[in-house]
Structure 1
């Protein structure tokens, strides 16, 4: 009966109750058929994302322009000079059904001007030359739950040299010149091989820092906090095609369920597309906020950071401080209807000044969602509702709390809110922003997609990178 109700009315309450039932039956080794049924029926990934190959490539593009001194010995001749490497680094996915794989590629040229010297008895042979090399370095990168993993770089280079002059003793000039030109192909092969090694070593060194930083960040900022909260995804998978990188996760712990159905089809024409089932958000919120005490100051800080502004109603009043203790189950939930979004908060204790009320309280707001030219407009349907489940009649104390909380949460859930495009943070701030192309709510799913608003100009993509080649 509960399963049928969840199918017809997929509320957060139904999902939460069925998840706890499945967990308790499983721990008690009872009704394995029921447990298996619930895990299978509500076990689909609830977070899915797609990032196009063209988007990854265009936003990862970096120019390389690096000049370095050169000092090496080739076939007994000491070569000194400079080498300038110019090229472009890009990252693009490649087909891998087992895990997401990206190829970082440096394509470029290296030009050099060298003076070669070699002892000829009491005399010195001097060779002035230039070199032109083409090179391509490739590094395989893999996306894993622990962060990025990488393989050693492989580089292919081809060098062609031009001899400008040969200075040798007159008696040996013809013989030496003949030997120099005869050994030229071998010298070019050696120079190309050494350029390959230097380029690979430099590419590996550059990526080693980035990979180490990424893995440390994933461990410290994502995996460890989620594991402490028992909120690590039950399933996580990534894969790539030549057209896109795909990610999917089942955000649920042992007491929680996933989506009851496969995700809606993602927009294959978008730069970024994703589908979120309400269980993904609700399960994570339960792990993070369940049973936690949140003060007025924390709420004010979150609102100010998120919106850049703090409404008057949420400013701290030292003589009227307040706090709420979230319920252990379903503390913060969302429900995605057909074109509507309902947000609900549940607390088991409310504090105001010196008074405390230990009773279940629910605060909710429902929004109608409409697409706009720039994003979406959310319009609240009616007032913010503050209720005490199970109580039809409220005494003076509870009516006062309801009025107080409505005032606070009317500001947290404003009558209307509009979203615009997404801008990149940090060193990607000069990238063209992402414009919302899709925002659909249906059957518990939120489908989103974005397009980059304009082609990237050349001067926006050319952040120069130094590449060591000595």
Structure 2
């Protein structure tokens, strides 16, 4: 088992509240999508209908699951032994420690011992450890999880009875479910859905829950100020004129004075930005036609617009619309002979309407081409490479690639994402509108935290030395060029184990991380089944939490301020012994440092490596923190 202390809780806290602030709705009093009576009725009816179809034959087969694990173990061993670096491959095998589960399978150990070895291996196969995303290790993890499920359902008749009871309890919970489910209800439902999915039974119930609890649980926004800062600019330039119209060679200068502006357009499936150029042009030219010279001047108005469509595939463009007006006049006709000047003036007057039409057409083409060139440069903008950067991490923690939707409104562009596994639920409640202006914002729903940290921490015992060991190698990789060295890390871990840990905690198997955003407050904490410090143990279910209140400072910043006391509760325990009560006070003291008195109280500076120039090196600070209906909203300026 793996163990946790103060540094790990701090890591979790930062991950929940800060990691997603990398990048709104502006109206209020709009109804929020939530669980309806029809949703409740559909679920209850489907559960009642599906209970009859639960049969022993559909449960996972234990013999097949054992065989699959052994096959995957051999694949992993072959992969590691074929590494360019034999030492690195052996270090991986030492870290994975495959012998206990292989021996338990070969020796026909009891279900309890086999399950424990399977859980231990799964814990080593899941976590943000570079290398765990490779297919051979993910395949092994999948087979180990299938083995755990097969052990759980090995007694077919008994499992049928238990699963039907779970379905009955689930139906009763749904009947009493609030329109906006509590975090406890949502987490319990997710745990039951995960169990049902493992059983290979009543898949239609899982599908229905994924549909109803299928709204995005993460949203990232870029407000109009960021977009306009990136695109809006003044236009003030001059260019030489060289042309020929009706046999007259024209040279001179044209000066443009105007502006380029961006306007966000409502769209779903992509973000749409209308880029427009408007300006005023003045020209001063000299025309040569034989021995005659014509001095001309002109004024013009230009207007061009184009819509940019942006999503993860890049930037595409709608056609350009251009509208121009041009008014030119002959200021002087120069020749040493007056009769030539009179003839030239008469001829120029005759040709001027046609010359003006030709000049206007050329002017419009020129404006269109130049605008196309300038806006076309946007196609070279590097879009956020979410898949390449995020997918390895998701694979390491056994999550799937999130479903994502790009879009825009008149006030912001956004990306909504649904982060969950096949056997997890997302949100049943649409995100609330963001009240007020912002440059960037992020919204996190409670299910996101449960989906990410639940599989990672559920059932684990974590201590400080192991968390430090994981953090120490966070920048190493699996390949020869950026390889991790589990063997070295284990040596460091063995050294650390000589020191008595500050404390360690066994995480609960359901909702190990507490994250609630409701009624204007944020509740953070952990759920455990055992707390230990030194030689003192407390083996009871416990919940250690801190309540934070969004507060605005005198200079307009928004921060989270912690209520003074750390809450330590023991659900289901009526009375603690004297020693247990003393340990409770010890828990409060230790977690007083884990949960700081304030959160989000720092200014965030975008690194110089950010490719988006509008936010590169800029400093941002939270100006809005809102906690409603299970959603935490953080907006920055």
Q: Same fold (TM over 0.5)?
A: yes
Q: Which stretch shifts more, 57-66 or 4-13?
A: 4-13
Do the aligned partners of residues 415 and 157 (structure 1) sit closer, same or farther apart at CA in structure 2, a change above 3 Å counting?
A: same
Separation in 1, partners of 2:356, 2:542? 76
Indicate which of 424, 444, 468 corresponds to 1:295.
468
CA contact 1:22–1:38 (8 Å) conserved in 2: no
**Are 1:379 and 2:550 an aligned pair?**
no
**Are 1:75 and 2:243 an aligned pair?**
no
CA contact 2:212–2:428 (8 Å) conserved in 1: yes
**Are 1:334 and 2:502 an aligned pair?**
no
Do the aligned partners of residues 296 and 190 (structure 1) sit closer, same or farther apart at CA in structure 2, a change above 3 Å counting?
A: farther
Once the two structures are TM-superposed, the CA of residue 150 in structure 1 deviates from its matched residue by 2.3
CA contact 1:384–1:413 (8 Å) conserved in 2: no
Once the two structures are TM-superposed, the CA of residue 266 in structure 1 deviates from its matched residue by 4.1
List aligned pairs for 1:46-445, cutoff 5 A.
46-48=217-219, 56-57=227-228, 60-96=231-267, 99-118=270-289, 120=290, 124-168=291-335, 170=337, 171-215=339-383, 217=385, 221=389, 230-240=399-409, 242=410, 245=413, 247-267=415-435, 270-271=437-438, 275-283=443-451, 295=468, 298=471, 334-344=515-525, 365-373=545-553, 374=556, 375-379=558-562, 382-383=565-566, 413-417=595-599, 419=601, 427=614, 436=623, 438-445=624-631
Give 3-state SS (helix, strand or coil) of 2:381's partner.
Answer: helix
Do the aligned partners of residues 45 and 200 (structure 1) sit closer, same or farther apart at CA in structure 2, a change above 3 Å counting?
A: same
Which residue of structure 2 aligns with residue 350 of structure 1?
A: none
Give 3-state SS (helix, strand or coil) of 1:254's partner.
Answer: coil
CA contact 1:6–1:15 (8 Å) conserved in 2: no
Do the aligned partners of residues 15 and 148 (structure 1) sit closer, same or farther apart at CA in structure 2, a change above 3 Å counting?
A: farther
Separation in 1, partners of 2:595, 2:424? 27
Give the TM-score, by structure 2 length.
0.51
Give 3-state SS (helix, strand or coil) of 2:183's partner.
Answer: coil
Do the aligned partners of residues 117 and 146 (structure 1) sit closer, same or farther apart at CA in structure 2, a change above 3 Å counting?
A: same
CA contact 1:365–1:380 (8 Å) conserved in 2: no
Once the two structures are TM-superposed, the CA of residue 66 in structure 1 deviates from its matched residue by 1.4
CA contact 2:561–2:598 (8 Å) conserved in 1: yes
Which residue of structure 2 aligns with residue 462 of structure 1?
A: none
For structure 2, list consecutive stretches of 5 or more residues without a partner in the other structure: 1-168, 476-494, 529-540, 571-575, 578-582, 608-612
Give 3-state SS (helix, strand or coil) of 1:215's partner.
Answer: coil
Once the two structures are TM-superposed, the CA of residue 32 in structure 1 deviates from its matched residue by 3.2
CA contact 1:233–1:249 (8 Å) conserved in 2: yes
Separation in 1, partners of 2:589, 2:359? 75
Separation in 1, partners of 2:448, 2:295? 67
Separation in 1, partners of 2:366, 2:207? 56
Indicate which of 21, 26, 39 corresponds to 2:210.
39
CA contact 1:286–1:332 (8 Å) conserved in 2: yes
**Are 1:446 and 2:629 an aligned pair?**
no
CA contact 2:270–2:408 (8 Å) conserved in 1: yes
Q: Deviations over 1:41-83 (max 9, x none)?
A: 3112223467666885577431111122222222222221222
CA contact 1:145–1:236 (8 Å) conserved in 2: no
Do the aligned partners of residues 417 and 244 (structure 1) sit closer, same or farther apart at CA in structure 2, a change above 3 Å counting?
A: closer
Give 3-state SS (helix, strand or coil) of 2:279's partner.
Answer: strand
Which residue of structure 1 aligns with residue 89 of structure 2?
A: none
Separation in 1, partners of 2:393, 2:283? 51
CA contact 1:82–1:114 (8 Å) conserved in 2: yes
Do the aligned partners of residues 432 and 134 (structure 1) sit closer, same or farther apart at CA in structure 2, a change above 3 Å counting?
A: farther
Once the two structures are TM-superposed, the CA of residue 277 in structure 1 deviates from its matched residue by 1.2
**CA RMSD after TM alignment:** 5.0
Do the aligned partners of residues 232 and 80 (structure 1) sit closer, same or farther apart at CA in structure 2, a change above 3 Å counting?
A: farther
Once the two structures are TM-superposed, the CA of residue 187 in structure 1 deviates from its matched residue by 2.8
Do the aligned partners of residues 222 and 114 (structure 1) sit closer, same or farther apart at CA in structure 2, a change above 3 Å counting?
A: farther
Separation in 1, partners of 2:454, 2:325? 58
Which residue of structure 2 aligns with residue 10 of structure 1?
A: 183
Once the two structures are TM-superposed, the CA of residue 105 in structure 1 deviates from its matched residue by 0.6
- Structure (1 or 2) with the larger CA radius of gyration: 2
Do the aligned partners of residues 188 and 146 (structure 1) sit closer, same or farther apart at CA in structure 2, a change above 3 Å counting?
A: same
Do the aligned partners of residues 38 and 149 (structure 1) sit closer, same or farther apart at CA in structure 2, a change above 3 Å counting?
A: same
Give the TM-score, by structure 1 length.
0.67
Which residue of structure 2 aligns with residue 312 of structure 1?
A: none
CA contact 1:47–1:250 (8 Å) conserved in 2: yes
For structure 1, list consecutive stretches of 5 or more residues without a partner in the other structure: 303-318, 348-360, 394-398, 453-470
Give 1 or 2: higher helix fraction.
2
Give 1 or 2: higher strand fraction.
1
Which residue of structure 1 aligns with residue 70 of structure 2?
A: none
Do the aligned partners of residues 410 and 73 (structure 1) sit closer, same or farther apart at CA in structure 2, a change above 3 Å counting?
A: farther
Q: Deviations over 1:248-293 (max 9, x none)?
A: 43233423321122333443x5446764312234445679999998
Separation in 2, partners of 1:48, 1:249? 6
Q: How many residues align?
A: 405
